[in-house]
A = this chain, B = another copy of it.
Amino acid sequence: MANPREGRERQPKLLRDVPVRMKDIARDLGLSTVTISKVLRGHSDIGEETRKRVLKRMQELNYQPNFAARALITGRTWTIGLVVPDLLHPFFAQVAKAISAGVRGQGYSLIITSSEEYPELERQEIEQLLARRVDVMLIASAQSTVESFRRIEDRGIPLILIDRRFVDLVANFVGVDDEAVGVLATDHLIDQGCQRIAHIRGPETSTALGRLEGFRRALAAHRLTPLAKHIVSIGASGDDRGAPGGYEATKKLLKSSPRPDGIFCFNDPIALGAMRAIFDAGLRIPEDVAVVGCGNLLYSDFLRVPLTSVDQDSSAIGKIAAELALSLVSQKKPSRPKTELVTPTLVVRASSLRH
């Protein structure tokens, strides 16, 4: 087989392989580059004979189209942008994994960035993705200003919000039904005979508000009213958000009177902190205080007391988001924003099972 780059005008620097271009294949077969291009795109006005020759040669030379050149003329980069608040968080890691799997083999590349829960960083990452001209953007927002999202829409780039939404922004949304999460957890605690159920709520996000709302609704449905002091917030900043925050919040809860006999925690790390505080206070789980978390993180089964948790099916969220993204990039006109809610499920373990 002849060297495809023989006689090529530009000599390779050093000894490195220079990628094969359409021009190389064209000269090789005595055709024009346009013909090669047409074959690649499955154009109809190419003879069967020629088509086969071109495809064969492409294979032989392992031709890979130049994305930059293609993007420049077509305006499509075959690139998807994903912004999450934290790659280490199992929920977002799973969502990212599922999205990655969902778009695999479709020719798209996924640029994954993290805002580290900082709105300003999120804004910058979005700008970078805009500069990259990604074809579609998926964002699990760290409470960014809606301004950034408007810029995305103004550019005509499809936007999909994940997990967290905004009241004053109409956009595609894929997430869990957070009210259902709250109802599921609270109903379960009530069902287990808890009388005074507390809630450790999350920060000011749609997620936290939805779960709180579900919590309230479930109690109301049983003619129960939560005490104000039984709804506590964790610190909004940094480390306080996880287990340490849950620990502190629970210490406070346990000192209150009447003492709660069940706690619905915004997420699993908080629940872990809560459990530790309960143990430290010399109380038993679930006999004295039942605990329900949210997120169903891995290895919950291996804890000192296995943790009951609401599963958000992050995998499904990622899968649906990926499908939606693929459908959005392939349609010409912007379509009406869709909302896709995943139904949560309760995974009951020892931390809440009283009988």
A contact set with B: CB distance below 8 Å: 13-14, 16-17, 19, 64-69, 71-72, 77, 86-88, 90, 93-94, 96-97, 100-101, 104-105, 109-114, 116, 121, 124, 127-133, 151, 154-156, 243, 269, 272, 275-276, 297-299, 302-305, 334
Inside 8 A of A90's CB, which chain B residues have their CB? 88, 90
Q: Is the CB of A88 within 8 A of B93?
A: yes
Inside 8 A of A66's CB, which chain B residues have their CB? 72, 133
With A16-B156, A276-B302, A302-B275 as contacts: A65 and B131 at CB distance below 8 Å: yes
Q: Is the CB of B113 within 8 A of A132?
A: no
A307 to chain B, nearest CB (A): 9
Inside 8 A of A16's CB, which chain B residues have their CB? 154-156
Bound CA span A265–B130, Å = 45
Q: How many copies does the complex hold?
A: 2
Q: Is the CB of B101 within 8 A of A97?
A: no
With A275-B302, A299-B243, A302-B275 as contacts: A114 and B97 at CB distance below 8 Å: yes
Nearest B residue to A116 by beta-carbon distance?
B101
Inside 8 A of A272's CB, which chain B residues have their CB? 299, 302
A64 to chain B, nearest CB (A): 4
Q: Is the CB of A19 within 8 A of B94?
A: no
A to B CB contacts below 8 Å, 16 in the list: A13-B156, A67-B132, A67-B133, A69-B72, A72-B72, A88-B298, A97-B114, A100-B113, A101-B114, A109-B128, A109-B129, A109-B132, A297-B299, A302-B303, A302-B304, A303-B303
Bound CA span A139–B111, Å = 16
Q: What secondary structure prevails in chain A residues at the interface with B?
A: mixed
Inside 8 A of A67's CB, which chain B residues have their CB? 68, 131-133
Bound CA span A94–B86, Å = 10
Bound CA span A298–B151, Å = 37
Inside 8 A of A100's CB, which chain B residues have their CB? 87, 112-114
Bound CA span A104–B100, Å = 21
A328 to chain B, nearest CB (A): 14
Inside 8 A of A65's CB, which chain B residues have their CB? 131
A142 to chain B, nearest CB (A): 14
With A16-B155, A272-B302, A299-B269 as contacts: A94 and B101 at CB distance below 8 Å: no
Bound CA span A96–B84, Å = 13
A145 to chain B, nearest CB (A): 16
Inside 8 A of A304's CB, which chain B residues have their CB? 302-305
Bound CA span A94–B334, Å = 37
With A64-B130, A68-B68, A72-B68 as contacts: A93 and B101 at CB distance below 8 Å: no
Q: Is the CB of A19 within 8 A of B155?
A: yes
Inside 8 A of A128's CB, which chain B residues have their CB? 109
A205 to chain B, nearest CB (A): 21
Inside 8 A of A155's CB, which chain B residues have their CB? 16-17, 19
A323 to chain B, nearest CB (A): 18
Q: Is the CB of B88 within 8 A of A133?
A: no
Bound CA span A104–B65, Å = 28
Nearest B residue to A155 by beta-carbon distance?
B17
Within the complex, which residue of B104, B110, B156, B305 is in contact with A111, where a contact is CB–CB below 8 Å? B110
Nearest B residue to A87 by beta-carbon distance?
B97
Bound CA span A199–B127, Å = 49
